[in-house]
Structure 1
Amino acid sequence: MRPSSEDELAGMIASAGGPVRICGGGTRGLSGAGEVLQTGGMSGIVLHEPGALTLVAKAGTPLAEVEAVLEGAGQRLPFEPMDARGLLESDGVPTVGGMAAANVSGPRRIQAGACRDYMLGVRFVDGAGRVVSNGGRVMKNVTGYDLVKLMAGSFGTLGVLTEVAFKVLPKPAAQAMLVLEGLSVAEAVAAMSRALGSAFDVTGAAHDPLAGRTLLRIEGFERSVGYRAERLQALLAGWIERDVVAVEEAWRSIRDVAPFHGRAGDVWRISCKPSDAPEVAARLGGDLLLDWGGGLVWALLPTGTDARAALAGIGGHATLVRGASQPRFAPQPEAVAAIAKGLRARFDPRGILNPGLMA
């Protein structure tokens, strides 16, 4: 199924006789039972108001198209969405709907926030074939549910997105990064915590043990960036990279988890307290990449490794991003699972949208 309009999509879902597997750009390696429903036929930028910092796009719109339009206006999506194709060895094209449905957020999340924080409004078709609209071009909500937040990260289990409105921000005039070398995980987490707790507005804090580098990014007006980078260097030592191309390439590598591309093994995404990152690293072994100041740990582990068992007792959660030896998502606490079940019963009473994906 490949609808070309919201009404056509609503008819398809209403008449569906069994499970439906929703596919945006097909870049995230999600699989499951049911007839495939592709959203790529619903594509195009509906509205872009640079002065109002607002963009509205249909769900099947390629993300590259949105980024090109924003680039032309000197703007960007602040949450820095990753491109998962290299990590997952997948084809396809990242889309607006897939990004929103997975709440895809990159290194800048620690400073700017997540994808869901910039979603102003959504339109979607629920599991009964009803068209639902929530939010708009301004940040407000007058319904009983904050559906914008619910849809972000729901992976299509509550409805099929047809349109998303975003707040966008201007691109900074300059950027630089402080590079620290030879730190252990514990030392890197301590350095990143100091940087993020400083007054220098760090927009990225990552540690790559494979390269032996800890990276701290600063963005803004040129003179401000230079001043803050030098002050951060005085605080932590290291050296400053000022070449814009080198800085962008380094953070694109962190964003897309490039050190794990083309390598065998299971890939786990662990969210934890930054202070727990050294213990996470010690328990898991394997190759690691730390982002969000240590609050996000990517781990490349031997096929079949159960990271959740290894991390028992540590707060947070582990998601299997690449591999099939364990369920993709961690079991939810009983209270949360009850809420999730109630929401699915409300928006997908027949249980046909990506069934079992988040079980």
Structure 2
Amino acid sequence: MSNLLVPTREDEAADMIRACAEAKRTLSIAGGNTRSGFGNAVQADAVLRSAGLSGIVAYDPAEMVMTVRSGTPLTDVEDALAEHGQMLAFEPADHRGMMGTQGEPTIGGVFATNTSGPRRFVAGAARDSLLGLRFINGRGEVLRAGGRVMKNVTGLDLVKLLAGSFGTLAFLSEVTFRVLPRPQDQQTIVLSGLEDAEAARAMAIAMGLPVEVSGAAHLPESVRSRFVNGMLPEGAATVLRLEGLPASVTVRADKLEQAMRQLGPVSRLDAEESTLLWQEIRDVRPYCDGTQKPLWRVSVAPSSGFQMVAALRLEAGIDAFYDWQGGLVWMRMEAEPEAELVRHVMHQIGGGHANLLRASEEMRSWCDSFEPLPSAVALLSRRVKEKFDPQGIFNPGKMARD
């Protein structure tokens, strides 16, 4: 059997998986292979890619629901939606620059990793848009969960379970998801010169105003110049996005700008500049640096992120910026991953999830890439894994360990 398996039909993929299960050959599950560095470094016997399962199966813009084969390039999905003024609400990121990979991101890979961008904290994660899917389990059986409407409660839990499972439970062959109208306009209010703690307070104030902020991030001075070709004003930048109809955006932006002027200097980005900025925040532009310096993605309470970064700066060389109103912290370490220190500080300030997304293969061989699970949760996770993949052939190295 070849080390690279690229089926073009669902039944062909099922046959390949069944053969590997019988031979107890492990499989690395991938779409476009753009996130190949995620997880602990464990070599599989073969790579099974969904790239051959491509194409839009069904799309009715009036229903705002699309069904697509899992290996369909993400750009094909976004282009089809854009023709009808629609979009994926959760703003999926392109991790190629951050991970130093090539290939094309696929829609199946987006849902398998639950990849969600800056709008996630108000619009939900990728899994919240997922309605149904077809998948192949570790026995080579083709199964279906969910459907084309949110009322299909029976399948929702299973759908949400598979979203974000990183290919450890099943091979996705088809996904059905809801989409939303694309905003006609956007502007970004930029508040300059705030320290991290001040920025957290400013973002909290902005979120409390009736202006419908759809993006809230803080870019400290160490990363500010790496965004939008240095177009942001001098000093740290706290950025707040507003989207919608042009007249509504302008009125809300005026109201938000007036409120923020009490906290520091304020400027504004137009639609074109704003679009570019939030794409770069989404794709973690400051750390698309061509290195393998350890990069953490840490999810915490919005009021706790700056506390964690402040504590870590006292003991380790780090660079960081904040998304999701401060609840998502991107941290690049200068040398070692410092996993024990990162997770110790995170739990001291209230807990969260710290996942190591990038590091050298040698570092990933001994450092837990995914947040270790409590014993009871780990036991449940293993039982679920045994049901879906009894031979344990899918994606070795991408299961969180207790």
Please classify the TM superposition score into its range, dividing by the shorter chain length. over 0.9
Is residue 231 from structure 1 mapped to residue 255 from structure 2 by the alignment? yes
The offset of 1:85, in angstroms, is: 0.4
Contact 2:188 2:270 (C-alpha < 8 Å) held by counterparts: no
Unaligned runs of at least 5 residues, structure 2: 225-235
Residue 307 of structure 1: how far off its partner (Å): 3.9
Q: SS of the counterpart of 2:304?
A: helix
Whole-angstrom CA distance in 1 between matches of 2:124 and 2:328 = 14
- Seen in structure 2, the aligned counterparts of structure 1 residues 263 and 21 have a Cα distance that, compared at 3 Å, is closer
**Deviates further, 63-72 or 15-24:** 15-24
1:341 — aligned with what? 382
For residues 62-73 of structure 1, the aligned pairs below 5 Å read 62-73=73-84
Secondary structure of the corresponding residue to residue 173 of structure 2:
strand
Using the TM superposition, give the Cα deviation of residue 311 of structure 1 relative to its aligned residue in structure 2, in angstroms: 4.0
Letter in 2 for 1:275: S
CA distance in 1, matches of 2:78, 2:174: 16
The separation in 2 between residues aligned to 1:332 and 1:198, in whole angstroms, is: 37
1:321 pairs with 345, 354, 357, which one? 357
The 8 Å contact of residues 270 and 298 in structure 1, kept in 2 or not, is answered as yes
TM-score by length of 1: 0.97
Question: Aligned with 1:319: secondary structure?
Answer: strand
Distance 2:357 2:308 in 1: 17
Amino acid at match of 1:322: R
Query: 1:296 & 1:176 partners in 2: Cα distance?
Result: 22
Q: What is the 5 A alignment of 1:204-243?
A: 204-209=215-220, 210-211=223-224, 212-237=236-261, 238-243=265-270
User: Amino acid of the residue matched to residue 327 of structure 1?
Assistant: D
Contact 1:280 1:311 in 2 (8 A): no
1:145, distance to aligned residue in structure 2 (A): 7.0
Would you say 1:281 and 2:309 are equivalent positions? yes
**Quick one: which amino acid aligns to residue 193 of structure 1?**
A
Tell me, yes or no, if structure 1 residue 244 matches structure 2 residue 271.
Answer: yes
Q: CA deviation at 1:280?
A: 1.1
Q: How many residues align?
A: 359
Alignment RMSD:
1.4
Seen in structure 2, the aligned counterparts of structure 1 residues 232 and 142 have a Cα distance that, compared at 3 Å, is closer
Residue range with higher mean Cα deviation, 313-322 or 91-100: 313-322
Identity rate, percent: 46
Matched residue type, 2:383: G
Residue 12 (structure 1) aligned with residue 16 (structure 2)? yes
Q: Tell me if 1:301 matches 2:371.
A: no
- Whether 2:299 is the aligned partner of 1:267: answer no
Distance 1:187 1:51, change over 3 A: same
Equivalent pair of 2:18/2:138 in contact (CA under 8 Å):
yes
Residue 26 (str. 1) matches residue 50 (str. 2): no
SS at match of 2:372: coil
User: Who is 2:96 aligned against?
Assistant: 85
Alpha-carbon offset, residue 106 of structure 1: 0.2
Q: Is the 8 A contact 1:268 1:298 kept in 2?
A: yes
Task: Flag structure 1 segments of 5+ consecutive residues without an equivalent.
Answer: none
Q: How does 1:126-165 map to 2 (within 5 A)?
A: 126-143=137-154, 146-165=157-176
Q: Which residue pairs with 1:254 in the alignment? A: 281
Code of the residue aligned with 1:207 in structure 2: it is H
**Is the CA contact (8 Å cut-off) linking 2:337 and 2:359 kept in structure 1?**
no
Whether the 8 Å CA contact 2:134–2:175 is kept in 1: the answer is yes
Question: Structure 1 residues 267 and 258 mapped into 2: Cα distance closer, same or farther (>3 Å)?
Answer: same
| 1:82-112 C-alpha deviation (Å, 9 max, x unpaired) | 0000111111110011000000000001111
Does structure 2 conserve the Cα–Cα contact (< 8 Å) formed by 1:120 and 1:148?
yes
Cα separation, 2, equivalents of 1:220 and 1:11: 47
CA contact (8 A) 1:284 1:307 kept: no
Give the TM-score, by structure 2 length: 0.87
